[in-house]
């Protein structure tokens, strides 16, 4: 699959080089490195990014899980379109949706689709329309751990639920030993870390526990952490930092935050335990169903898949935007940016930053919806 991505990228770059050369013969070039067409639109040299005359500042907030992806996208987009500034805070899904329904951001990122009451609230700021969910970023919710002498660790959903519910308190517990018979597990206290802020990562992590370990996780789920015990930290970066710094720690966050850290392999009932990788997450996301209506593209994920190689603890980050009634001063730049991140070039950046691109049929619908935004 990696070879296929490399071949696909090579073809894309080749095509872009040809189109860039043709554009230079037909268009003028300004001093910002973009090619300007007769209609005033612009395309970055050697890139498929279309600025379409977009200018100004875009404020956005939301999912910290996609922050590393947004940063990579913003770097590429603003280099091609220097007239646009994008400030994405990454304060968490809850903060993003609140900012969106209050009308203080052009778009928001959320690892959970809008709830009915949030759609209702969005109608106050989306004149003649409402907020919709556009799936843009995928990836596994990795479970990182810091146990001296242990680099490979297998856990199943019931054991994971008991750990985060403070029912299993030591790393040499019999349930963990049974799943890791060859590991040397120390007599060390488990330090589970969860998110302190409202988070779509928490929502997806607990949805997995609810679906895969219903007898061991009795909480209703949601963006706010509900189990007692454990320690907390803000945003995915904060949880990852605490796990790295604390012996005996375990925590959950998007895979891009798990660099230089060991992560849990899940015993899902498949032939072998499944690692948290981009390819394995993509296999699980491909099994999702679109449950949104109209322009909304909310997905229903299958957290209990037992397919070989499918890592079921996944999340999809949505860009939240008005289908109609977007602010006139930010709409051109917002559409240009969303068009880019949904493009083949934009989605390819995800794989380079430990995220999973959306399956072809899903992202094709997203591209159509972006063009219809008004």
Structure confidence at residue 40 (pLDDT): 39
Q: Label residue 319 by pLDDT band (50, 70, 90).
A: very high
Q: What is the 3-state secondary structure (H, E, C) of 117-135?
A: HHHHHHCCCCCCCCEEEEE
Structure confidence at residue 126 (pLDDT): 98
Cα separation values, 330 from 59, 60, 278, Å: 9, 11, 33
Q: Is the pLDDT of residue 374 over 60?
A: yes
The mean per-residue pLDDT over the stretch 300-323 comes to 95
**More confident of the two residues 54 and 103:** 103
Residues 60, 91: contact at Cβ < 8 Å?
no
Q: Label residue 38 by pLDDT band (50, 70, 90).
A: very low
Structure tokens at 45: 């040299």
pLDDT tens per residue, range 233-280: 999 999 999 999 999 999 999 998 998 999 999 999 999 999 999 999
Structure confidence at residue 46 (pLDDT): 54
pLDDT tens per residue, range 69-110: 999 999 999 999 999 999 999 999 999 999 999 999 999 999
Q: Is the pLDDT of residue 325 over 90?
A: yes
Structure confidence at residue 48 (pLDDT): 79
Q: Where are the alpha helices (DSSP H) in the chain?
A: 2-26, 67-80, 93-101, 116-122, 157-164, 174-179, 200-212, 235-245, 278-285, 331-342, 344-352, 360-372
Structure confidence at residue 321 (pLDDT): 98
Q: Label residue 185 by pLDDT band (50, 70, 90).
A: very high
**Beta-carbon contacts of residue 63 (< 8 Å; ≥ 6 apart):** 90, 92, 93, 96, 109, 110, 111, 137, 200, 201, 317
Structure confidence at residue 31 (pLDDT): 36
The mean per-residue pLDDT over the stretch 219-243 comes to 95
Structure confidence at residue 354 (pLDDT): 87
Q: How far is CA 232 from the centre of its chain?
A: 21
pLDDT tens per residue, range 127-162: 999 999 999 999 999 999 999 999 999 999 999 999
CA separation for the pair 319, 338 (Å, rounded): 8
Q: Which of 90, 75, 38 is nearest to 237 (CA)?
A: 90
Q: Which of 119, 125, 88, 86 is nearest to 103 (CA)?
A: 125
The mean per-residue pLDDT over the stretch 282-299 comes to 92
Angle CA(347)–CA(351)–CA(356) in degrees, nearest 5? 75
**More confident of the two residues 139 and 22:** 139
Q: Is the pLDDT of residue 178 over 70?
A: yes
Average of per-residue pLDDT values in the chain: 88
């Amino acid at each position: 699959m990696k070879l296929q991505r490399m071949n696909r990228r090579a073809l894309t770059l080749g095509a872009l080089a040809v189109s860039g050369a043709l554009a230079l013969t037909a268009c003028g070039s300004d001093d910002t490195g973009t090619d300007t067409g007769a209609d005033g639109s612009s395309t970055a040299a050697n890139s498929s990014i279309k600025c379409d005359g977009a200018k100004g500042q875009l404020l956005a907030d939301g999912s910290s899980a996609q922050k590393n992806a947004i940063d990579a996208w913003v770097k590429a987009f603003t280099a091609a379109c220097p007239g646009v500034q994008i400030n994405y805070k990454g304060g968490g899904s809850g903060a993003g949706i609140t900012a969106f329904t209050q009308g203080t951001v052009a778009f928001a990122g959320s690892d959970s689709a809008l709830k009915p009451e949030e759609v209702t609230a969005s109608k106050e700021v989306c004149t003649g329309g409402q907020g919709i969910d556009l799936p843009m970023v995928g990836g596994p919710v990795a479970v990182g751990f810091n146990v001296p002498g242990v680099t490979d660790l297998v856990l199943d959903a019931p054991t994971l639920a008991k750990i985060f519910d403070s029912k299993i308190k030591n790393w040499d517990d019999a349930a963990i030993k049974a799943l890791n018979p060859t590991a040397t597990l120390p007599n060390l206290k488990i330090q589970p870390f969860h998110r302190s802020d409202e988070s779509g990562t928490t929502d997806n992590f607990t949805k997995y526990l609810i679906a895969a370990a219903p007898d061991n996780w009795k909480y209703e789920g949601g963006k706010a952490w509900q189990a007692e015990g454990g320690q907390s930290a803000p945003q995915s970066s904060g949880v990852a930092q605490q796990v790295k710094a604390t012996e005996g720690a375990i925590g959950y966050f998007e895979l891009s935050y798990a660099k230089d850290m060991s992560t849990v392999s899940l015993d899902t009932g498949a032939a072998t335990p499944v690692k948290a990788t981009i390819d394995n997450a993509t296999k699980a996301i491909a099994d999702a169903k679109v449950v949104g209506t109209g322009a909304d593209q909310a997905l229903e994920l299958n957290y209990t898949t037992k397919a070989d190689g499918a890592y079921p603890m996944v999340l999809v980050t949505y860009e939240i935007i008005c289908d109609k009634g977007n602010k006139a001063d930010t709409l051109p730049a917002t559409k240009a940016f969303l068009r880019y991140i949904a493009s083949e070039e934009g989605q390819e950046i995800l794989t380079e930053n430990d995220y999973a691109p959306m399956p072809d049929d899903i992202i094709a619908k997203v591209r159509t919806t972006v063009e219809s935004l008004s």
